[in-house]
Amino acid sequence: MGPIKLIIIALLLYLGYRLLASDWKKKRDTKEEIHKQDDGPIADVLVEDPVCHKLVPREQAVRLNSQTRGEILYFCSEECCNLFVSQEGEKK
């Protein structure tokens, strides 16, 4: 085997190694990036409907300023809100 053939084989082996090493590095970096992702602050909080006890995202819930309780109540639907208002009226 001549010296030129050995140099060519060595060069091909080196290029193959570099291609494989860069592929492994990309995969490792991608995995690290996935673990580093930060979704930031929580966008919404679940609140419990006092009538049916379903959990509803606060931004999607029906709100009611309760005069008797002095707080904001959250409901899953208008029906639950109306039912709560009618039950509170019966208690008075």
Of the candidates 34, 38, 37, 46, the one whose C-alpha atom is nearest the C-alpha of residue 74 is 46
Q: Which amino acid would we find at residue 38?
A: D
Do 45 and 59 touch, CB atoms closer than 8 A? Answer: no
Confidence of residue 47 (pLDDT cuts 50, 70, 90): very high
Cβ contact 60:47 at 8 Å:
no
pTM of the complete model: 0.51
The DSSP call for residue 91 is H
The residues, any chain, with a CB within 8 Å of residue 84's CB and separated by 6 or more, are 50, 51, 64, 73, 75
What pLDDT, on a 0 to 100 scale, did the predictor assign at position 88?
78
- Of 2-11, 46-55, 60-69, 73-82, give the lowest mean pLDDT range: 60-69
